């Protein structure tokens, strides 16, 4: 049993300080694995699904012993709507996990660096989430956990096609590595379009989070490998690492250019958004995301003091309906306007100490 | 324009998605968009297409010619989960791991289109993959042996031959246990 439940705090392991955090929010490694001889979750019987959950429960002591951390299995049917949303917003599970309510579960390590989805599209999806750019350490942990699980479970594997996943797009290594990046300066200087197209041509996928390209409101993108077969894991990771490093360099350069050419406009943009969040009494989610991105840019360029990256990362959870809905009376959800009131209140409280740094 | 999800309110939030050059647009009202949250990875959005539809399209194109040649033949059916090939083609997802063997004859072009390859490289499970590592090593050595013979490097070839012999013996022994 974990000491605190994951939905009781907006903080997660990936939100702490990390390498290249001025551009990179988090790194995720996901390995898709399936049990040999059993139909995939979409086609399996209730009995098989429950047997797998039972088997996973029996592995917990082994995991606890070898990782020196507590683990707990959460069955989706025991979680309410708001708790599920918070887990999704903390990136610990996918929204799809809720589709197979009676069969699905989330196996969570206490520090929230590891979450294993059970009976999602695949029987097991091992996920490691680290802060900043940490592809190799995250892969090493995922790889170790994969070996541990394989010591007790027979994974479906073929010499030719590798790990046999439910969807052919994940077959081979079963690996999906993703890096979440904040690229406000590339969007503002209109360089994002060609960059995202270029990424696609290199076998990677770039996805805007809530909106695409120049319209991506929070300027947050997720870059992942598209191809999972034909290359060893290390090679896939090296490819992604190289592309992400390049993006980091380009974003930093675009920020320097903006700071040199339009210093007042930049300061004005950040200052106005800070003024808004410190004084607004109604804040819609879309505007909140926009302000959030400006504030992060302010922190990234040292234009704002007394706000940390960890705090901004937590806000990604706190500003969302799942977290805000916790304030609702049991079995009720808040209206959008009630949420706007709570969202504004939360921002006023969280950012009350923030100030614009003095002009040099 | 009305919200795609509730079909009641005016759509005020417009989401454009580019995946592999495929552009899709979603139009939502504020209430429905709020359900997805400002930072949601939008995986759950009911988009006009899914990866599985795309895959299904890929496969249909491939097979339409083949089907005409032999319309009478019973479709390939997986002995473990009962999934038929037309079903797999529609859904773009396998029913169980055995489907990989059942539909083997159709998979090569599909995997090539998705991954640009139809052969796994990389991690092999420790327990379940026993023997595969040896087999890979053997294949590699045999390739090297051919090369050595071709360039008449007979000393090198002799070393390789002995190594292949040793590995083959090991493999035989492990099968017997």
Q: Spell out, as residue ranges, where chain A has pLDDT lower than 50.
A: 211-214
**pLDDT surpasses 60 at B67:** no
A314, A10 contact by CB (below 8 A): yes
Query: Counting beta carbons within 10 angstroms of the beta carbon of residue A358, is it exposed (0 to 12), middle (13 to 18) or buried (19 or more)?
Result: exposed
pLDDT of residue B47: 42
Q: What is the mean pLDDT of chain B?
A: 77
A289, A210 contact by CB (below 8 A): yes
Q: Does B13 touch chain A (CB under 8 A)?
A: yes
Q: Does B42 touch chain A (CB under 8 A)?
A: yes
pLDDT of residue A208: 78
Which candidate in A208, A230, A294 is best for mutational testing of the B interface (most B CBs within 10 A)?
A: A230
| Whole-angstrom distance, CA of residue A89 vs CA of residue B40 | 7
Quick check: helix, strand or coil at residue B7? coil
B32, B3 contact by CB (below 8 A): yes
**pLDDT surpasses 50 at B46:** no
pLDDT of residue B62: 58
A292, A55 contact by CB (below 8 A): no
How remote is the C-alpha of A251 from its chain's centroid?
Answer: 20
Measure in Å the smallest separation between the Cα of A303 and chain B Cα atoms: 24
pLDDT of residue A25: 96
The whole-number average pLDDT for the span B139-147 is 86
pLDDT tens string A4-52 = 999 999 999 999 999 999 999 999 999 999 999 999 999 999 999 999 9
Measure in Å the smallest separation between the Cα of B1 and chain A Cα atoms: 18
Q: Does B146 touch chain A (CB under 8 A)?
A: no
pLDDT of residue B35: 63
Judged by CB atoms closer than 8 Å, whether chains meet at B135 and A159 is answered as yes
How remote is the C-alpha of B117 from its chain's centroid?
Answer: 9
The whole-number average pLDDT for the span B132-150 is 82
Q: Which residue has the tokens 């991105």?
A: A293
What is the band of B127 on the pLDDT scale with cuts at 50, 70, 90?
confident
Comparison of pLDDT for B11 and A148, the residue scoring more: A148
> Considering only alpha carbons, which residue of chain B is nearest residue A333?
B35
Which candidate in B83, B94, B103, B135 is best for mutational testing of the A interface (most A CBs within 10 A)?
A: B94
pLDDT of residue A210: 56
Query: Counting beta carbons within 10 angstroms of the beta carbon of residue A217, is it exposed (0 to 12), middle (13 to 18) or buried (19 or more)?
Result: buried
Most confident of A207-216, A219-228, B13-22, B146-155: A219-228
| Whole-angstrom distance, CA of residue A119 vs CA of residue A122 | 6
Q: Which of A36, A43, A212 sits opposite B95 (nearest CB)?
A: A43
A314, A306 contact by CB (below 8 A): no
Residues of B in contact with A30 (CB under 8 A): none
Cα Rg for chain A, rounded, in angstroms? 21
Count the Cβ atoms, other than its own, within 10 Å of residue B175.
8
pTM of the model: 0.82
Do you know the residue count of chain B?
177
pLDDT of residue B42: 42
β-strand partners of A162: A158, A172
DSSP string, A104-118: -EEEEETTSSEEEEE
Judged by CB atoms closer than 8 Å, whether chains meet at A232 and B94 is answered as no
Q: Which residue has the tokens 């022994």?
A: B173
Comparison of pLDDT for B156 and B72, the residue scoring more: B156
DSSP A317: H
**pLDDT surpasses 90 at B21:** no
DSSP A119: S
**pLDDT surpasses 50 at B140:** yes
What values do phi and psi take at B27, rounded to 5?
-120, 120
pLDDT of residue A234: 97
Judged by CB atoms closer than 8 Å, whether chains meet at A232 and B132 is answered as no
Interface of B with A in 68-127 (CB under 8 A): 80-81, 83, 92-98, 100-101, 107, 110-111, 114-127
The whole-number average pLDDT for the span B1-9 is 79
């Amino acid at each position: 049993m974990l000491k605190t439940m994951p939905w009781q705090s907006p903080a997660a392991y990936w939100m702490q300080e990390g390498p290249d955090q001025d551009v990179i929010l988090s790194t995720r490694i996901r390995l898709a694995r399936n049990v040999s001889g059993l139909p995939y979750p979409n086609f399996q019987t209730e009995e098989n699904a429950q047997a797998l959950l039972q088997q996973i429960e029996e592995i917990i002591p082994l995991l606890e012993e070898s990782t020196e951390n507590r683990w707990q299995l959460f069955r989706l049917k025991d979680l309410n709507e708001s708790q599920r949303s918070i887990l999704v917003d903390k990136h610990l599970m996918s929204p799809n996990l809720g589709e197979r309510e009676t069969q699905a579960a989330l196996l969570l390590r206490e520090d929230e660096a590891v979450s294993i989805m059970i009976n999602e599209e695949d029987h097991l999806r091992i996920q490691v989430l680290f802060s900043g750019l940490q592809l190799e350490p995250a892969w090493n942990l995922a790889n170790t956990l994969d070996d541990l699980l394989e010591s007790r479970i027979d994974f479906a594997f073929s010499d030719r096609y590798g790990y046999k996943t439910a969807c052919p797009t994940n077959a081979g290594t079963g690996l999906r590595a993703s890096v979440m990046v904040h690229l406000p300066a590339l969007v503002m200087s209109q360089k994002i379009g060609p960059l995202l197209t270029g990424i696609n041509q290199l076998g990677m996928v770039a996805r805007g989070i809530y909106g695409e390209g120049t319209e991506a409101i929070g300027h947050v993108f997720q870059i992942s490998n598209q191809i999972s077969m034909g290359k060893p894991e290390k090679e896939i990771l090296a490819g992604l690492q190289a592309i992400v490093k390049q993006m980091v360099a380009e974003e930093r350069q675009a920020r320097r250019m903006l700071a040199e050419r339009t210093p007042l406009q930049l300061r004005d943009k950040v200052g106005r958004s800070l003024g808004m969040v410190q004084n607004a009494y109604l804040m819609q989610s879309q505007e909140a995301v926009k302000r959030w991105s400006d504030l992060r840019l302010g922190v990234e360029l040292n234009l704002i003091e007394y706000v940390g990256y960890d705090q901004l990362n937590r806000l990604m959870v706190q500003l969302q309906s799942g977290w805000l809905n916790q304030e609702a009376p049991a079995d009720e959800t808040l209206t959008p306007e009630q949420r706007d009131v709570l969202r504004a209140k939360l921002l006023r409280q969280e950012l009350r100490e923030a100030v614009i740094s003095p002009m040099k | 324009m009305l919200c795609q999800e509730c079909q009641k309110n005016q759509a005020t939030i417009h989401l454009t998605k580019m995946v592999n050059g495929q552009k899709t647009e979603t139009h939502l009202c504020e209430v429905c968009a709020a359900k997805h949250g400002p930072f949601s990875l939008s995986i759950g959005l009911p988009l006009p297409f899914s990866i599985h539809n795309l895959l299904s399209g890929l496969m249909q194109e491939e097979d339409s010619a083949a089907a005409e040649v032999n319309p009478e033949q019973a479709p390939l059916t997986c002995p473990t989960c009962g999934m038929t090939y037309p079903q797999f083609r529609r859904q773009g997802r396998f029913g169980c791991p055995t489907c990989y063997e059942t539909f083997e004859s159709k998979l090569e072009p599909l995997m090539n289109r998705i991954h640009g390859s139809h052969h796994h490289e990389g991690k092999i499970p420790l327990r379940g993959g026993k023997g595969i590592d040896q087999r890979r090593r053997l294949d590699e050595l045999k390739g090297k042996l051919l090369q050595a013979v071709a360039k008449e490097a007979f000393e090198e070839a002799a070393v390789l031959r002995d190594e292949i012999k040793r590995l083959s013996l090991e493999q035989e022994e492990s099968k017997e246990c």
